[in-house]
Amino acid sequence: MMSENEKPRLQAATLATLKVVRKADFGVFLDGGTGQTSDDVLLHQGQQSRPVEIGEEVDVFLYHDARGRITASMKLPKMKEGQVARAEVIHFTGKQGAFVDLGAERAVFMPFSRMRGRVYEGEKVWVKLYTDKTGRLAVTMEVEEDLQRAALPFTGKVGDKLKGTVYNETDEGYFLFAEGRHVTFLHRSEMAGAALRMGQEIDFRVAFIRPDGRINVSLRPQKEDALFEDGERILQFLQERGGKMPYGDATSPEIIQTKFGMSKAAFKRALGRLFRQGTIRQEDGWTWICEETEENKEN
C-alpha cells in the first residue's frame, strides 16, 4: 500500500506534464515525481518535436519501450479526451480488444466490451477518447449520442446520393454517419449485397427523410432498375432449381429476405412484373417458369 507521502508512479498510455531535470547525449530526463532519479523518464531526441531545456515543463505521452520501461514522447494523440473522430484499427487482439492509431507514439487500446461489432485491421472506425478506471487512455466505439448531437438535419431531397461510414449495427440494419454530418439508417431490406463492416465507407441514396431531418438510405437501385434486377435474381434462382420454387405471394418476409435479399414488397413487385410478361406462373404456392418462355429463349 502506498504511504501518504509516497507519490504514485507514472504509467503508460497516459498524458502528463513533466519537468526537464537533466540532459544526456541522447535526450533529456523528465522528473518522474517520486524523488528517485531512477524513476525519471527518458524523452529521447527522436521523440522530441522541438528542443527542450532544463526546468521547462513538457506535455508528453507516456508508453512502455521495448524493455518495458516508462518512456515519454512529445507526439501526442490528435484528439482530446471526450472528442470523437475516425481512427484506423492497426491491430485486433480478439476477445481482448483492438489498438487504434490516434497519431500518438503508440496505439491506444480499445476494450472488446467497448467495440461495436467486429473491427478489421486497416479500417477506420468512429471512436471516442476517454480515461479508463486505471487512469489510462482508451477509446470506445460507443459514439451514438455524440454523433447524434453533432448531426445536422438533412435539407436535400429523396434520391440524392451521399457517402457515409458505418458506426453501429442492429438487428434491423446499420447506422451510418454521412458527409454533411447526417445520421442515416440503412435497413437490411435496402441492402444489395453482403453484410457491411464497422467503419466501412459506402455510397448510397436517400430513400426517406424523417421529420427530424434524419434520413433512411438505400443501396438498392431506383424502383424501375430494381424491378429489373429483382426479377433477374428471381429468374436465376428458378433456373438453378429446375424452373420451380416453393415461394410465392404468400411466402413470409423472413424467408424472402433470407433467400433473395429483398423485402416482401419488392419480391411481390418483381413477381407481378414477371407474371405480366408471361415469364412465370403460380400454382398451389409454387412459382414456375412458363414453358413458353423456355422455348422462346431457345429460339
Q: What is the CATH number of domain 146-218?
A: 2.40.50.140
- Residue 142, SS3? coil
Place of cell 524523488: 35
Distance CA 82, CA 110 (A): 14
Choosing among 1.10.10.10, 3.30.420.40, 1.10.3660.10, 3.30.1330.30, the CATH entry for 223-298 is 1.10.10.10
- Does the pLDDT at position 283 exceed 90? no
Place of cell 487512469: 135
Say which CATH topology domain 14-73 has: OB fold (Dihydrolipoamide Acetyltransferase, E2P) (2.40.50)
What residue segments make up the domains of the chain, in order of their start?
14-73, 84-142, 146-218, 223-298
Per-residue confidence (pLDDT) for residue 244, from 0 to 100:
92
DSSP state string for 181-237: TEEEEEEGGG--SSPPPTT-EEEEEEEEE-TTS-EEEESSPPHHHHHHHHHHHHHHH
Distance CA 257, CA 28 (A): 63
Cell numbers for 293: 418462355
pLDDT in tens, 118-174: 899 999 999 999 999 989 999 999 999 999 999 999 999 988 999 999 999 999 999
Same fold yes or no, 14-73 and 146-218: yes
Helix H, strand E, coil C: the string for 65-128 is CCCCCEEEECCCCCCCCCCEEEEEEEEEEECCEEEEECCCCCCEEEEHHHCCCCCCCCCEEEEE
- Does the pLDDT at position 225 exceed 70? no
The Cα-based distances of 32 to 1, 8, 109, 132, 136 in angstroms read 19, 9, 24, 22, 17
CATH class entry, domain 84-142? mainly beta
pLDDT in tens, 44-58: 999 999 999 999 999
pLDDT in tens, 5-33: 555 678 899 999 999 999 999 999 999 98
Per-residue confidence (pLDDT) for residue 38, from 0 to 100:
87
DSSP code of 50?
Answer: S
pLDDT in tens, 233-273: 898 899 899 999 999 988 999 999 888 888 888 899 888 88
pLDDT in tens, 169-221: 999 999 999 999 999 999 988 887 778 999 999 999 998 998 888 999 998 76
